[in-house]
Chain A
Amino acid sequence: MKQHVARNLGLVVGILTVVFMTAPLVLVVLFSFNDSVVMTFPIKGLTFDWYRALLSRDDFWGALRNSVIVTLAVGAGSTVIGTLAAMVIVRMRPRVSALAMSLFGLPMMMPPLVLALALLTLFSALGVRLSLMTVVLAHLTFTMPFVILIVTARLRDFDTAMLDSARDLGASPWTAFRSVTFPIIRPTLFGAGLIAMALSLDDFIITFFMLGGGNTLPTLVWGMLRTGVDPSINALGALILLATLGTSALALRITGYRG
């Protein structure tokens, strides 16, 4: 009897927690189609007006363009650099590789505000002009650890005998990588890149301090948030959600990553 109570309590608390966690996103999507400025139930009618209002803004298209540039550059840069590092880390002795992993993982644990301000202080001392380039560089710091983590985990399961036989048959390291390793780990690389892109697309704090002028999608949301109630934010939120969920769902499916 008592066991049942504990079990069901866990079930109820768990489900309520998941509802609490997902409710904001469900509401954003729902109210992006709501035919009223006031966001309350019941929803009276459906409309695409908020999407139309969003798409007719000039600053939306500039922000979208900047976000696409940053996201693609971070995805590509982070994946290449992280993968090269992962290939060395898997060959290290266990203790050394554990140390390397925790060192490279440090930026993941740092609050984004600290990352942003430390870089901003250095860039201003060096006289570096802020631009999309500085945003991309800053995003590499916290997306690269995820790539290293995911690719290292994949390479550890990798059967090195195949690589050794390719090398024994006279393949150069580069040829062996291109013809053996790469085709096998390609899905993982693609997935890791998409996760890096999703993280980059969602970042507001670092982007805000690193972006000299103009907007990306999150800084556009920030500007709209400060002007008050504007249901176009729901439409923009739903679009960002669609993009990040699309990329991350694809990434998770491809990598088979489960926690």
Chain B
Amino acid sequence: MRFSTARAEVTHRPRRGGVLLASVLVLCVLALSAQAPARGQRGSVLQSWMLTAAAPLARAVTTVSRAISGTSSSIADNFTARSDIVRLRRDLQKREEELFRLRAEVQQMRSEIGLRAAAPFLPVVVGSGPVLLLERRAGLHSALIGIGSSSGVGPGSPLAVPEGLVGRVVTAGRTLSRAQLLLDASAAAGARIVRTGELGIVRGDGRGALRLNHIPTTSRVRPGDLVESAGIDGIYPRGIAIGRVASVSRGGNLFLDVLLVPTAPFSRLTDVLVLAPFPAREPGEGTSASR
């Protein structure tokens, strides 16, 4: 935009532009007002259609993008391959020893506490999809996922990566879905401190961190404690890591101010696992994770 020379080539119609601007803004306000009662719990049918329509472009461009970044990564990886092989062999040996020990432990635990009783609460993976777009704007943290209703994904399906919980699907198109991440300023999840067993609510602060609320000042929580989903919110299954306690301070009221660092690498997400809605719901039933 070369402002100094733009003057010459311009048609001076600011008044007409102003009227148009006012009309567009009024239309936007009307559209927003019409959707506001839904309070963002679920995307509109129009949004679902638009996601479906955008799918071919998104997939084509992402394929190219991934091919380029994949090629550059593989070239860089070749240089470090040899030392990696030695390291991996060492790791494998260590892990085999650990696996042997864990198998023995699991066998013992199964017989002792009856793992079968807890089986219905274990998360069921519906599928996995690539993260096509990640938006972080003014407290909003959302993602566009390359998996949709054709693969059994519906609004409310939780998303996770091996490191921890990521968020939930809000709008599902046929092959694309829009998800609300846990970091979103409007997202919340029931959580449990693994060491102490205390329950609280994890909320995104919109700036890339999580806060654990409703932990009483009498709690023994300390930095480094792992926090996982508690399965009490009717959306997220229990036992999935959410974050580690970064700091604990006394808030202004009866509760502690607990700041968490998420375990999932939100800024470097490439693929996510889609879990079955928890608890299993009838189609058409609503969700309530948004504030």
Whether chain B is bound by chain A comes out as no
**A residues engaging B (CB < 8 A)?**
none
**B residues engaging A (CB < 8 A)?**
none
